[in-house]
């Protein structure tokens, strides 16, 4: 058998080659790692060093809790600020890999006095989860002739909620915004992106599809103080709640049979213009989205649905507007408190455009 004689260790040229080879391969591997890492940071660099998706906000919030309270509190954590009034057992239902990795990295860095915040660590770990989802960004940009225009309405509204409402106020919205509301606005929500309870989601969907009084009753029974809707009609943002409305009707109708999808459809389509059905024009989602929208341009032209809205001038009886963001993308309403005295005679509702609900207007309305 021929044995390869390894050159005596004293030989300088081959030993040098060996050494070179090892260092070079180590360096190449390191550079590949850095490059792979950097490529994935493009969205962070382009927009901002912030978490952009919906679901990663859950991971970020959970990691924050872990870093603040430690591993035992984390395993035993029952979160009462979501799925109100049911809550969620986070310790038992979470996939902890991402959270524990981020938490460990943060703890290790802080132990050697490198003060990176939990948020920074998460962006580098949460990227992996974010890549798998679709791309609703939290900061939207558009190019105009004066340069880049930034739409930061979501964060504007979450910041407003976190500073100008009480800590224990409950916010109701469609489930898409649940994680972001709990993480950024720090308020208790009714349903969130976990979507583990279909009946609870159907309750919110029914409330959004009902007329004002019925919706008020549902939200009041859940101790809700604020209702949040996303509206893209002023600037043409297509992923708003009116476009998602069909799911609110279907999911709501699946659990509560008095919500019938046919009531909202005209020739098989969901319409919000003059051809819309009376039920549609009277439901909470329509009213909260288009309240005083006609005053922006005089005609109420919805840039997403590309039509003028059906009911233009109406007043809200059970809700009042407390905040609308800069580009009208997020609108927040407060539930009006109940009146102490119910008046003897019902006053006729003044509606500028016919809603087809004259029979309901004549009925006794205790809120006027």
Residues that bind another protein (CB under 8 A): 22, 48-50, 113-115, 138-139, 150, 152, 155-156, 158-160, 163-164, 184, 292-293, 295-296, 320-326, 328
User: What's phi and psi for 78, nearest 5 deg?
Assistant: -110, 115
Neighbours of 343 (CB within 10 A): 12
Question: From the CB of 135, what's the least distance to another protein, in Å?
Answer: 17
Question: From the CB of 164, what's the least distance to another protein, in Å?
Answer: 5
Pick the closer one to another protein by CB: 60 or 264. 60
Nearest to 330 by CA among 180, 155, 75: 155
User: What gap in Å lies between CA 332 and CA 58, rounded to an integer?
Assistant: 22
Pick the closer one to another protein by CB: 93 or 296. 296
Pick the closer one to another protein by CB: 55 or 204. 55
Pick the closer one to another protein by CB: 156 or 263. 156
Question: From the CB of 144, what's the least distance to another protein, in Å?
Answer: 14
Which tokens belong to 13? 């040229």
| Tokens 């005679």 found at | 345
Question: From the CB of 189, what's the least distance to another protein, in Å?
Answer: 16
Residues in the chain: 368
Pick the closer one to another protein by CB: 178 or 253. 178
Cβ(62)–Cβ(51) below 8 Å: no
Q: Judging by DSSP bridges, how do beta strands 224-230 and 170-172 pair with one another?
A: parallel
Cβ(54)–Cβ(180) below 8 Å: yes
User: What gap in Å lies between CA 204 and CA 222, rounded to an integer?
Assistant: 10
Question: From the CB of 360, what's the least distance to another protein, in Å?
Answer: 25
Indicate the SS3 state at residue 161: helix
**Which residues are CB-contacts of 176 (< 8 A; sequence separation ≥ 6)?**
54, 193, 244
Pick the closer one to another protein by CB: 316 or 361. 316
Question: From the CB of 120, what's the least distance to another protein, in Å?
Answer: 12
CA distances from 110 to 61, 74, 101, 259 (A): 19, 19, 14, 54
| Tokens 């919706």 found at | 215
Cβ(77)–Cβ(91) below 8 Å: yes
Question: From the CB of 86, what's the least distance to another protein, in Å?
Answer: 26
Pick the closer one to another protein by CB: 245 or 290. 290
Question: From the CB of 40, what's the least distance to another protein, in Å?
Answer: 19
Determine which helix (DSSP H) or strand (DSSP E) holds 140, and give its type and residue range: strand 140-144
Pick the closer one to another protein by CB: 62 or 138. 138
Pick the closer one to another protein by CB: 93 or 117. 117
Cβ(243)–Cβ(237) below 8 Å: no
User: What gap in Å lies between CA 266 and CA 272, rounded to an integer?
Assistant: 10
Question: From the CB of 270, what's the least distance to another protein, in Å?
Answer: 25
Q: What is the DSSP letter of 210?
A: S
């Amino acid at each position: 058998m021929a044995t390869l004689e390894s050159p005596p260790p004293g030989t300088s040229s081959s030993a040098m080659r060996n050494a070179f080879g090892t260092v070079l391969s180590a360096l190449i591997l390191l550079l590949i790692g850095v490059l792979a890492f950097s490529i994935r940071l493009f969205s962070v660099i382009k927009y901002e060093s912030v978490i952009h998706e919906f679901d990663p906000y859950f991971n970020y919030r959970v990691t924050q809790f872990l870093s603040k309270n430690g591993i035992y509190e984390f395993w035993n954590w029952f979160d009462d600020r979501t799925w109100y009034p049911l809550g969620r057992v986070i310790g038992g239902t979470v996939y902890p890999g991402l959270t524990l990795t981020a938490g460990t990295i943060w703890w290790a860095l802080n132990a050697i006095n490198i003060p990176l915040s939990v948020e920074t660590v998460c962006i580098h770990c949460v990227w992996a989860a974010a890549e798998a989802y679709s791309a609703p960004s939290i900061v939207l940009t558009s190019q105009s002739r004066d340069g880049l225009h930034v739409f930061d309405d979501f964060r504007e509204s979450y910041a407003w909620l976190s500073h100008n409402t009480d800590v224990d106020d409950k916010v109701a919205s469609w489930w898409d915004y649940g994680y972001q509301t709990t993480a950024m606005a720090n308020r208790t929500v009714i349903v969130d992106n976990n979507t583990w309870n279909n009946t609870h989601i159907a309750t919110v969907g029914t409330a959004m599809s009902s007329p004002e009084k019925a919706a008020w009753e549902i939200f009041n029974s859940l101790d809700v103080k604020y209702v949040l809707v996303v509206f893209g009609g002023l600037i043409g943002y297509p992923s708003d709640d009116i476009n998602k409305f069909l799911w609110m009707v279907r999911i709501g109708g699946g659990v509560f049979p008095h919500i019938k999808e046919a009531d909202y459809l005209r020739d098989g389509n969901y319409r919000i213009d003059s051809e819309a059905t009376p039920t549609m024009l009277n439901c909470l989602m329509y009213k909260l989205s288009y309240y005083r929208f006609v005053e922006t341009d005089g005609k109420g032209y919805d840039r997403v649905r590309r039509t003028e809205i059906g009911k233009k001038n109406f007043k809200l009886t059970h809700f009042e507007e407390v905040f609308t963001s800069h580009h009208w993308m997020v609108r927040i309403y407060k539930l009006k408190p109940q009146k102490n005295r119910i008046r003897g005679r019902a006053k006729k509702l003044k509606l500028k455009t016919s809603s087809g609900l004259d029979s309901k207007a004549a009925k006794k309305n205790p809120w006027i």
